[in-house]
Amino acid sequence: MATYFWVGGTGTWSGTGNTQFAVTSGGVATALNPTNADTVTFDANSGTAATVTVTSTAVSLSTTINKADINLSLSGSPTLCTAAGTCTLTAGTLTLNTFTLTTGLFSSNSTGTRTIAFGSGNISVNGLSGTVFSGPTSANTGLTTTGTAQVNVIGNGTTTRTVNPGNAAAITGFISFTISNGSDTINSSNAGMTFNNLTFTSGFTGTFGNISRSIFGNLTLDSAITSFSSGASTLTFTGTGSQTITTAGETIDCPITFNGAGGTWQLQDALTSGATRTCTLTNGTLDLNDYTLTTGIFSSSNSNLRVLAFGSIGRIAITGSGTTVCNTNTATNLTVTGGSQKLIQLETIAVGTRTITGASVATAIEGTNLLDYYFVAGSDTVTFTANCAYNTINFSFFGAFTGTLTNNAISIYGNFVVSSSMILTSGTNALSFKSTTGTVLLIEPNGQTFNNPITFDGINGVWAFTTALTMGSTQALTLVNGYVRLAESVTSTVGSFVTTGTNQKYLGSTSPGTQATISDASGTNSVSYLTIQDSNATGGANWYANGPTNVNAGNNTGWIFFPTPADSNEITMRLRSFTQPRRF
């Protein structure tokens, strides 16, 4: 093996006819033609502001470029280094133009000022083991790439290969990688490496290892891969433009974070991670594009601008258990878009407690940042965090939930459906229904007894019970704002019925013209600012709707609209005086 040094500045390096190589740095130029057993170095003595044209026939075992003002410019596609050799860019410029530089290994992890001008060319690394591409770590800044930066990993590796594309803080212009061959494990040796596009073809049947890394561009997997990034280290998508994610049915069994201000990531097929992994939307838009994102935990609780786009039938399926499986508590600047259902699908869990934390009441905006929660059977304990807002909650859509719902003070802006076989925990915390849209929302008691208060408080809100409501004997049904329609032709039982506030509200039946019965066993229910229609008040309690703020809209029984006992005494006294007008 011989060692050669370039001298004499600008010139051409080819397979034959070279006249600018020396055997020592800065030595005498002689007619030397490096072979694939020789090393070639461009250093401080190689010339000033020199451009070296590299033809397709140039070869070496290894090549080092280490001078800031030297430029190796390809005029063809050389195999510059053997599979066991390394092309090292420590300082200077490598210009690919439209050609391919083939080398065993490529390294540019240094502190020198250096540039890879890809143009429309690429680097192909065919090394079978070791670090086949070494970009800069955070301590070794100074690398700039221009053009369409593309590296192809083409070696047919069978053991372990390392790919370090470069730390985001150390490289300007991220590099795309295509992995096309091998049955080995490919990993990065340093955390924080950032890929631009990362693509796997069917020729790679191995494993892509797990380490904290980022993808700035697209991710495209192939079904031939054995395992992709399985482990506890986070895969972060950091792009600020429009990116796509294609998994080809592969599971990305690691935590996933979307964190690129202004970035958009659109699923091209279903995205699945493990039951213990968290998917976090920190910045940007996650576009499900009508596909399903399956993850153990979903979190998006911060004040950054972010959009969760479901499409028409997209959904997030949550498989985690024993923890907070969904968290959108700080919902400031979160926008949820899509069809009528912004659906969080809670998969079947048998034991433990799942906590779901919706938007805090302070940050909740109806129609903007609230999600729907649908349960797939399950028999564990579910807790919806207190003082938070939720859209639809449904325990009976994908199969009956048979577990326990704890009692917390929560706000519901959508439908509320319980299953007949679940357990509703008793308590003093109210279920508050808050919608203001005027859309008829459904409440399905499904034969359950609600041993907790229920409050309706949404101006223009409309709620319809699909079946009879049964409440505990000490529990109040409170109407502050909106229109409550009790189920027609059946008896709904309350512990008491209360109205508050000075806005007009409404009590009626789900079928106009057909009465709905409301029953209270004892006591006095006295209402104000209430319009009543198609209501049969019964059960032993007194039902007073006296006063000018209440309206008898017809087909009511059991309600005392006028007079109350006190009013009756006033009428008697006035009838005794012919000088005063009579009141009826």
pLDDT at 568: 44
From first to last of its 584 residues, the chain has per-residue pLDDT tens of: 899 999 999 999 999 999 999 999 999 999 999 999 999 999 999 999 999 999 999 999 999 999 999 999 999 999 999 999 999 999 999 999 999 999 999 999 999 999 999 999 999 999 999 999 999 999 999 999 999 999 999 999 999 999 999 999 999 999 999 999 999 999 999 999 999 999 999 999 999 999 999 999 999 999 999 999 999 999 999 999 999 999 999 999 999 999 999 999 999 999 999 999 999 999 999 999 999 999 999 999 999 999 999 999 999 999 999 999 999 999 999 999 998 889 999 999 999 999 999 999 999 999 999 999 999 999 999 999 999 999 999 999 888 999 999 999 999 999 999 999 999 999 999 999 999 999 999 999 999 999 999 999 999 999 999 999 999 999 999 999 999 999 999 999 999 999 999 999 999 999 999 999 999 999 999 999 999 999 999 999 999 999 999 999 999 999 999 764 444 444 333 333 334 443 32
172 membership: H or E segment, kind and range: strand 171-172
Residue 405's DSSP bridge partners are: 382, 424
Residue 37 is encoded by which pair of tokens?
A: 């057993």
Give CA–CA dist 221/125, Å, rounded.
20
Cβ neighbours of residue 135 closer than 8 Å, sequence gap 6 or more: 108, 109, 143, 164, 165, 166, 167, 170, 171, 175, 193
Identify whether the C-beta of residue 152 lies closer than 8 Å to the C-beta of residue 176: no
Pairing relationship of beta strands 334-337 and 105-107 according to DSSP bridges: unpaired
Cα separation values, 128 from 101, 134, 180, 476, Å: 17, 15, 13, 74
Q: How big is the CA angle at 274 (ends 270 and 278), to the nearest 5 degrees?
A: 95
SS3 571: helix
Q: For the chain, give me the number of helices (H) and strands (E)?
A: 1, 61
Backbone angles phi, psi at 573, to 5 degrees: -65, -40
The reported pTM is 0.93
SS3 21: strand
pLDDT at 563: 61
